[in-house]
Amino acid sequence: MASEEDEDPIWITDNAPFVVVTDPLDGSRNIDASIPTGTIFGKYKRLSGTKLIAAGYVVYSSATILCVSFGLGTHAFTLDRTTGDFVLTHPSIKVPPRGQIYSVNDARYFDWPEGLRRYIDTIRQGKGRNSKKYSARYICSLVADFHRTLMYGGVAMNPRDHLRLVYEANPLSFLVEQAGGRGSNGKSRILSIQPVKLHQRLPLFLGGLEDIEELESYGDVQQKITPGYEV
């Protein structure tokens, strides 16, 4: 198994069929302010490179929600605190192909490439393929921003080389694809990228199918410069 918190993978046995990966506490910089955090996990077939067979996350917020996919749709369960059970509350989630929300740290606007600036400027003015004006939401907890995107649609993104392919981008892309959406690095499908390093980072765009296709059509959306942000 492998975790964001450990430099090296942990070998449990030499001939097991699976590799389990996790980001145990995503959004940890938000904890002291009681902002939602989450856990992400994925299960790969060992020896077959990109093949994820299950993925999920837990979001810790006004409710505790476990969202999973085993490759047959994406389903969410809410913790019933009186019994301790997770109850199926959101079967077969479908992310709307078009939303009206974009989610990004737009303090970085001046470090973005021209294509991404143009895309965001276009949708926030209601001049995109969807004639509605988009609104901004950014929690800065990937799981919480992703969960909202699954529920309401739109695009959740981090255009710089920051989030991790193996235990963040891949599991969330698996979940959004199983809900009818798309996970992209801005140019191509996340789940088709062959990982070469455990802690490999990449730009990440997750959301409804039509919103992500429109974003990719701007071509130049990956932020190449990351000048040492402190918060």
Catalog residues that contact ligand FBP under the rule CB under 6 A.
Answer: 26-29, 105, 140-142, 158, 160, 162, 229
Find out whether 97 and 180 touch, Cβ atoms under 8 Å: yes
Of 26 and 177, which has the nearer Cβ to ligand FBP?
Answer: 26
Residue among 102 and 210 whose Cβ is closer to ligand FBP:
102
Q: What CA–CA distances, in Å, run from 190 to 46, 59, 109, 120, 140?
A: 19, 22, 23, 21, 21
Residues 215, 219, 220, 224, CA torsion sign: positive
Residue 115: CB minimum distance to ligand FBP, A: 18
Cβ proximity to ligand FBP, 94 vs 108, nearer residue: 108
Residue nearer to ligand FBP on the CB measure, 18 or 229: 229
Q: How far is the CB of 134 from ligand FBP (least distance, A)?
A: 18
φ, ψ for residue 47, nearest 5 deg: 75, 0
Residue nearest to ligand FBP (CB): 105
- Neighbour-count burial of 12, counting CB atoms closer than 10 A to its CB (0-12 exposed, 13-18 middle, 19+ buried): exposed
Residue 61's nearest CA partner among 148, 126, 125, 159 is 148
Q: How far apart are the first and last CA of the chain?
A: 30
CB of 37 to ligand FBP, least distance (A): 8
Query: Closest distance between ligand FBP and the C-beta of residue 30, in Å?
Result: 8
Q: Which is nearer to ligand FBP, 69 or 223 (CB)?
A: 223
**Nearest residue (CB) to ligand FBP, 28 versus 78:** 28
Q: How far is the CB of 102 from ligand FBP (least distance, A)?
A: 14
Kindly state the smallest distance separating residue 138's Cβ from ligand FBP, in Å. Answer: 7
For the chain, the C-alpha Rg in angstroms (whole number) is 17
Measured CA to CA, the distance from residue 157 to residue 155 in angstroms comes to: 6
Residue type at position 33: A
